[in-house]
Structure 1
Amino acid sequence: MSRLRLQHLVRSSLWLLPVGCLVAGALLAVGTLAVDRATGYRLVPQGLTGTPSDAQTILSTFAGALVSLTTLVLTVTLVAVQLAMGQFSPRIVGALLTDRFNQLAIGLFGATFLVAVLTLREVRGSDTGTVPGLSMLLSYVLMLASLVVLVLFVHHAGQGLRVAGLIDLVGDRSREFIVRQHGELPVVTGDPGEVVAAEPGNVVRVDRPALVAAARRADCVLELVPVVGDFVVGGAPLFRVHPGTGSAASADDRPVERLRAADVTRHVLLGPERGHTEDLAYGFRKLVDIAVRSIAQPFNDPTTTVQSLHRLHDLLRQIAPRPLPGGEHRDEDGVVRLLERSVSWEGYVRLAFDEIRLAGASVPQVTRRMCAALADLKSVAPPDRQEPLDRQLRLLHAAVRRAHEDEEDVLAALTPDTEGIGSGADVTAAQRPRPARAPY
């Protein structure tokens, strides 16, 4: 077999690592059993291993549990492959099947099972007899390792079934290929006043007080280029460094030279996907995704879209009268040290309604719920936040008129209704109070 074929077999084989673990487990078991025999089974006292009856019970339990664990790992791996094939791409299968952690889990469980069975064969007697103590200790250690790997595998499988996990799996491997081919060359930015991101990822958290303190020490102003939640490409600008106003700043002084990149990049957490910790827009994004997907074919489930609009309406109502976080952060002397962009009120309104309006303009249940939400938001939003809501109403009316030819359908589709169709003025009967009956 040529070297290239051998390398390809090692990298793409699903069974090679598990078989290697089985061989290693068999060799370990044979070695420890040989040591136990050579020492007359007295190397480890039975106070640690238990009586032969105890050892047989423990090893039998180990063996049965490990069969179940191995079956679980294989089942979850196959489920992940099927979901990835149907939901994302059939070409993702190769990357999932060659996942080394899955192979290691299968191999460790199989090796532990093999060690337990071989050790069980060497136990003699019941209450009195011989127990291969060193082999028993090896079984204990492998079983403990199997439990740890099981917990890690559940976490790994959960991460791997996420969209971001599958995308990162392919992206990381492709990036590793580029590094192997061209080396880990530093990415040089065109602007000397910029601090770049060393690795790609979404901005998950920002330690603003620490960045303010770092900018104060360097007498500069930091400008965070991405918005919290943005994906930053490796080597792209993470900060722009502007001169400060103190005595250390001069016309020819470059503040970026007084500020090490590690002093600021370590205060920005980049993750594989967005999180809810500091990213309110991510919650909006998820709800909008659910709403748009629900009214798309073949799902055609506008009731789920209405449920998503309930929560979007609630979120917007909560922030409508409140001031949104500002983009300036000052030190204790009141000097601006950190600048960042944040999502505005108009941005949240557009994020909540634009895509749903475009996708659901022909669905009366959706448009009626949107009308009810916008009417209610206009009643609580201050005057300077009315225009984005008016814009949504104008666009919604225009979209509904394009979707329906009959004027009665248009009027019905634009009637505010908090349940889509169920509590609007045109589908409910008004109850008038009855006059009190005269007493006898």
Structure 2
Amino acid sequence: MNISVFKAVRDVTASLWLIPVACVLVGIAISFTTIALDRATGYDLLPEQLVGGPEAALEILTTVATSMVNLTVLVLTIVLVVVQLAMGQFSPRIVQRLLRDRPSQLAIGLFVATFVHTLLAIREIRIGTGSDPGQVPGIAIVTTFVLSLVSIAVLVVYIHHIGQALRVSALVEIAGDSTRKLIDKNFPNVEYVPDADDSTIVTAQESGVVTMIRYEPLVAAAREARCTLELVPALGEFVPAGAQLFRVDGDSERLDREKVRASIILRPERTLEQDVAYGMRLLVDMAIRALADAPWQDPTTAVQAIDRLHDCLRELVRRGFPDGRHRDEDGELRLIERVMTWDGFVLLAFTEIRLAGAGSPQVARRIHSALNDLLTVAAEDRRPVLRAQRGLLLADVERHFQEAADIELASGFDRSGLGASGIELAVAERSAAQAE
């Protein structure tokens, strides 16, 4: 193929307008077909009670045509907003892939096709005069009803789709999945597959994050095979396709591998279905974003996130933690998994916020207050990590401030960050300094 022709074909197939233009042609074909059927049946195939009189039909078609134009403009606006957000927050290089989004093209195409069909159907309506009852293309009107209902359903589905497409994981998945397909295309020869013939390993057939573990089917499968399964990735970890999913200790030949794989739900991103650590991760991310370097910071938002982290940890500190070992009804060990510990939750909740917010008296005091409160309710074996975080916090505060009064203020503790007790302390310290 000539290089110029190849480029032209490539540009057209990758464009935003190809599918909408094709749908315009489909709308024209639908309109001509329905109008031809109406003419062939003398415009009286469908009763007037179903399609209405000429005036009602004209009003309906005019309303539908106007609505389709508005919906088309809405979708185009959403596409432009998505492109701008993706360019500003993620990468300008993702724009080309977003413009090829098939659901957006199909939604625009459906609305435009309905609009074109409606315009062509309007000209077949004839308002009656005197003894002339007029003319209504019933089949074309009913087709407009159907296309309108489908358009409403597509709009709802499209709004859901675009909300999902704006997630960071969705944009990462676009780039990652496209790159994976290119690898399969350009490097088809698989020369080395580690552990491909190792029956003691169950590999993942697809990539994704472990979002849910169905324990009962796993224990049942291990019991049937008289073996023990060890889950390699922990809940919330990413698993590449072909990587180890389970290690099998025992009779691996009898193990139903498909049943085992089906018991692990892999998705593009973590969810809150089973993953407690992910919920805390979201709160930490909110706090860090509020404290990120910018023309202004928002320590109050960070304090609100710390409030919820404090509440979650206060619940966890009083509860027992699973050891990740699951047994069948006979007491035989059948499944082993890695689980989060108390120390892990404390480090997750405070480490990054402490490093990002030690320079804010409000944030430092709120973290200090949370740690002190947790120390009052924690068992002795759960206190060392809390004391360690408190020591690191006070050391970070001393590094961020030069004045002794500021260090004293930021090293205090207050449930509000800088509430009434914090303000009173600051005033008292300044008064004492002036008196000296």
Q: Same fold (TM over 0.5)?
A: yes
Partner of 1:14: 16
Partner of 1:356: 353
Partner of 1:249: none
Are the structure 2 counterparts of residues 210 and 323 from structure 1 closer, same or farther at C-alpha, using a change threshold of 3 Å?
same
Are the structure 2 counterparts of residues 69 and 425 from structure 1 closer, same or farther at C-alpha, using a change threshold of 3 Å?
closer
**Pairwise mapping of residues 338-357 of structure 1 onto structure 2 (< 5 A)?**
338-357=335-354
Among candidates 277, 284, 290, match of residue 281 of structure 1 = 277
Are the structure 2 counterparts of residues 108 and 414 from structure 1 closer, same or farther at C-alpha, using a change threshold of 3 Å?
same
Distance in 2 of aligned mates of 1:355 and 1:99: 36
Task: Work out whether 1:379 is the aligned partner of 2:376.
Answer: yes
**Pairwise mapping of residues 15-414 of structure 1 onto structure 2 (< 5 A)?**
15-125=17-127, 128-183=133-188, 188-190=193-195, 191-243=198-250, 255-298=251-294, 299-414=296-411
Distance in 2 of aligned mates of 1:209 and 1:308: 35
Distance in 2 of aligned mates of 1:178 and 1:122: 55
Distance in 1 of aligned mates of 2:214 and 2:160: 27
Deviation at 1:81, TM superposition (A): 0.8
Distance in 2 of aligned mates of 1:305 and 1:138: 55
Are the aligned partners of 1:418 and 1:424 in contact in 2 as well (CA < 8 Å)? no
Are the structure 2 counterparts of residues 339 and 362 from structure 1 closer, same or farther at C-alpha, using a change threshold of 3 Å?
same
Q: Can you list the C-alpha shifts for 1:225-256, whole angstroms capped at 9, x where unaligned?
A: 1111111111111111111xxxxxxxxxxx33
Partner of 1:438: none
Are the aligned partners of 2:72 and 2:108 in contact in 1 as well (CA < 8 Å)? yes
Task: Work out whether 1:416 is the aligned partner of 2:376.
Answer: no
Partner of 2:433: none
Are the aligned partners of 1:189 and 1:235 in contact in 2 as well (CA < 8 Å)? no
Distance in 2 of aligned mates of 1:294 and 1:302: 6
Indicate the larger mover: 66-75 or 47-56. 47-56
Are the structure 2 counterparts of residues 184 and 105 from structure 1 closer, same or farther at C-alpha, using a change threshold of 3 Å?
farther
The number of aligned residues is 418
Residue type of the alignment partner of 2:334: R
Are the aligned partners of 2:107 and 2:158 in contact in 1 as well (CA < 8 Å)? yes
Deviation at 1:3, TM superposition (A): 4.8
Deviation at 1:411, TM superposition (A): 2.1
Deviation at 1:402, TM superposition (A): 1.9
Indicate the larger mover: 390-399 or 417-426. 417-426
Distance in 2 of aligned mates of 1:108 and 1:85: 27
SS at match of 1:242: strand
Are the aligned partners of 2:229 and 2:335 in contact in 1 as well (CA < 8 Å)? yes
Deviation at 1:54, TM superposition (A): 2.7
Deviation at 1:428, TM superposition (A): 6.1
Are the aligned partners of 1:187 and 1:235 in contact in 2 as well (CA < 8 Å)? no
Residue type of the alignment partner of 2:316: I
Residue type of the alignment partner of 1:167: V
Distance in 2 of aligned mates of 1:217 and 1:112: 57
Deviation at 1:264, TM superposition (A): 0.8
Are the structure 2 counterparts of residues 288 and 47 from structure 1 closer, same or farther at C-alpha, using a change threshold of 3 Å?
same
Are the aligned partners of 1:194 and 1:237 in contact in 2 as well (CA < 8 Å)? yes
Distance in 1 of aligned mates of 2:422 and 2:52: 78
Are the aligned partners of 1:195 and 1:239 in contact in 2 as well (CA < 8 Å)? yes
Are the aligned partners of 2:409 and 2:422 in contact in 1 as well (CA < 8 Å)? no
Are the aligned partners of 2:58 and 2:125 in contact in 1 as well (CA < 8 Å)? yes
* Unmatched 5+ stretches in structure 1: 244-254, 430-440
* Unmatched 5+ stretches in structure 2: 427-436
Indicate the larger mover: 190-199 or 341-350. 190-199
SS at match of 1:204: strand
Are the structure 2 counterparts of residues 186 and 257 from structure 1 closer, same or farther at C-alpha, using a change threshold of 3 Å?
farther
Residue type of the alignment partner of 1:283: G
> What TM-score does the superposition give when structure 2 sets the normalisation length?
0.91
Distance in 1 of aligned mates of 2:424 and 2:355: 25
Distance in 2 of aligned mates of 1:428 and 1:397: 17
SS at match of 2:424: coil
SS at match of 1:129: coil
Q: Can you list the C-alpha shifts for 1:377-398, whole angstroms capped at 9, x where unaligned?
A: 0001111100110110111122
Residue type of the alignment partner of 1:218: A
Q: Note the aligned Cα RMSD (angstroms).
A: 2.1
Q: Can you list the C-alpha shifts for 1:257-290, whole angstroms capped at 9, x where unaligned?
A: 2223211111111112111110111111111111
Distance in 1 of aligned mates of 2:60 and 2:187: 53
Are the aligned partners of 1:189 and 1:236 in contact in 2 as well (CA < 8 Å)? no
Are the structure 2 counterparts of residues 186 and 114 from structure 1 closer, same or farther at C-alpha, using a change threshold of 3 Å?
farther
Are the aligned partners of 2:221 and 2:256 in contact in 1 as well (CA < 8 Å)? no
SS at match of 1:124: coil
Q: Can you list the C-alpha shifts for 1:164-199, whole angstroms capped at 9, x where unaligned?
A: 111112222222222333459799442442111111
Partner of 1:248: none
Are the aligned partners of 1:222 and 1:338 in contact in 2 as well (CA < 8 Å)? yes
Are the aligned partners of 1:421 and 1:427 in contact in 2 as well (CA < 8 Å)? no
Are the aligned partners of 1:368 and 1:420 in contact in 2 as well (CA < 8 Å)? yes
Distance in 1 of aligned mates of 2:319 and 2:126: 76
Indicate the larger mover: 231-240 or 133-142. 133-142
